[in-house]
Amino acid sequence: MRGPHNIWRLIRTGATLERSGAMNVVLDAFDAPKPLRFVAHALGKPFRWLGYRGDPAMPPATRAITALGPAYIKFGQVLSTRPDVVGDSLATQLRVLQDQLPPFPLEIARAEVEKELGQPLATMFSEFSEPIAAASIAQVHHARLAATGQEVAVKVLRPGIERAFRKDIDAFYLAAQMIERLAPGARRLRPMDVIAHFDGVVQGELDLRLESAAASEFAANTADDPGFAVPEIVWSLSSRRVMTLGWAEGVPLGDNAAIDAAGHDRVALSERVLRLFLQHALRDGYFHADMHQGNLKVAPNGDIIAYDFGIMGHIDEYTRRVYAEILYGFIRRDYHRVAEVHFAAGYVPPDRDVDEFARALRAVGEPIFGRDASRISMGRLLAYLFEVTERFGMQTRTELILLQRTMVVVEGVARSLNPNMNIWHVARPVVEDYIKKSIGPRALMNDLARTARVMARFGPRLPGMVEAALMREAGPPPPPVRRRRRWPLLVLATMLALLIGAAAGFGIAQVT
């Protein structure tokens, strides 16, 4: 479906922003310069009549985004957590995108559940409510199991959602192609790779069997985390388009008034949500990658409850060590070490100057230390970070997109609970604990032990592999005079493999 015909979709995007009155709202939120405002209006106003009308009862930005479709709604959900970037007014408008979108009729939901699970609804559920929450991809119903009386939540995909997402993503691919061709300087951001990554994430989110599996794995990883809970999946009543899980009773994390009325400590909650995310990302390498307020509740006992596991992030151990060292360097204000890590990991081209890059990082970090979050302009900080990446030729790391995006969202959630929180102070204990366990002598010994276990499985094959490699290098061997003794080669191969494996496992982490 990708092709020039998607230009129509992009034109209608600009036209919808103009028709709904959202164009000025968005430009004002990002403090767009006059030249950009002129170009945006010049491209949008002539086609205003082509824009989607949307719901006039909604605020302009929300009206435009909901009219444009689910992919745009996903982007709006991220912005809704960043009042420091888009302003309090726009963030409040966009918050309805998290779980307050118009639902589809109850009759359609009931028919979809019966079709997917292959049973009459009454035999599965003694109660099945009207939609209690509706988001971009699915809606949720409160129900009760007929067999046990257990309260559950039933998630049902929107009808036709697969086709709607496909249409949006195809237009995004075209936009990425245009950016790469018309703006060569933006190629380092790898827009096509970014869209391809987003495409893969969305396809996984549209299969609720994968979400059920993700929720189950996440629950197992976090079972011992104090102050955190994940509802249990009811596998017998879950399928590709329907998911049933335990009911989560609690106050929405985005409702500060309700949190205060319930007697919860918002400062403690803000710190816990950030620390939990860092623990999951660094300790497990598997984290909830859609942690906006619409997917989090506070239980009556004060636990943070997470749900909606359609987007999960995974990072390997090497990348976790890189990420931890970068965070730790910023926390310690050791910008030269942060720069060295970037170079060692290949994030910055080797022909650039490491000292100059360290000074640029200092200009990023120093203004935010010793200041609470309410006095930091995240919009200006992100703009300067973009300038730094462009100046030093840093390319987008697709394996870190979800991690970086989720960090932005979680920080926004934490700041909405406590605008004065010190992000670095909260993150320091988690990062330091990971550094102690994963970087240094103890980590090296663990890497060697894991390497030895792997080598034990392949040890019997190593002598032949080494000999074959040596023979290819030396050419045909002379006629054998006597049988070659193989044990020295086995010892040599094993030692080399252990050293190489340990170095690879140890990564770039060199504690200085």
Cα separation, 419 vs 410, in Å, equals: 13
**pLDDT category of residue 319 using cuts at 50, 70 and 90:** confident
Top pLDDT among 115 and 71 is at 115
Residues marked active site are found at 290
**pLDDT category of residue 476 using cuts at 50, 70 and 90:** low
pLDDT for residue 115: 94
The amino acid that residue 143 corresponds to is A
Nearest of 289, 205, 295 to residue 248 by alpha carbon: 295
Helix or strand (DSSP H, E) at 140: strand 138-145
pLDDT for residue 226: 94
- Residue 497 sits at φ, ψ, to 5 deg, of -65, -40
Q: What is the mean pLDDT of the chain?
A: 79
Residues 449-462: what's their mean pLDDT? 70
Q: Give the least confident one: 179-193, 378-392, 437-451.
A: 378-392
pLDDT at 111 over 90: yes
pLDDT for residue 497: 47
Residues 416-441: what's their mean pLDDT? 80
Top pLDDT among 429 and 4 is at 429
Top pLDDT among 487 and 186 is at 186
How many CB atoms lie under 10 A from the CB of residue 69? 20
pTM over 0.75: no
pLDDT at 398 over 60: no
Q: Give the least confident one: 140-154, 239-253, 368-382, 392-406.
A: 368-382
Residues 47-65: what's their mean pLDDT? 84
Q: What is the pLDDT of residues 486-499, one digit of tens each?
A: 444 444 444 444 44
Residue spans of the domains in the chain: they are: 4-97, 100-247, 314-438, 441-506
pLDDT for residue 273: 93
Residues 278-285: what's their mean pLDDT? 90
Q: Which residue has the tokens 């969305």?
A: 202
pLDDT at 300 over 60: yes
Cα separation, 254 vs 270, in Å, equals: 11
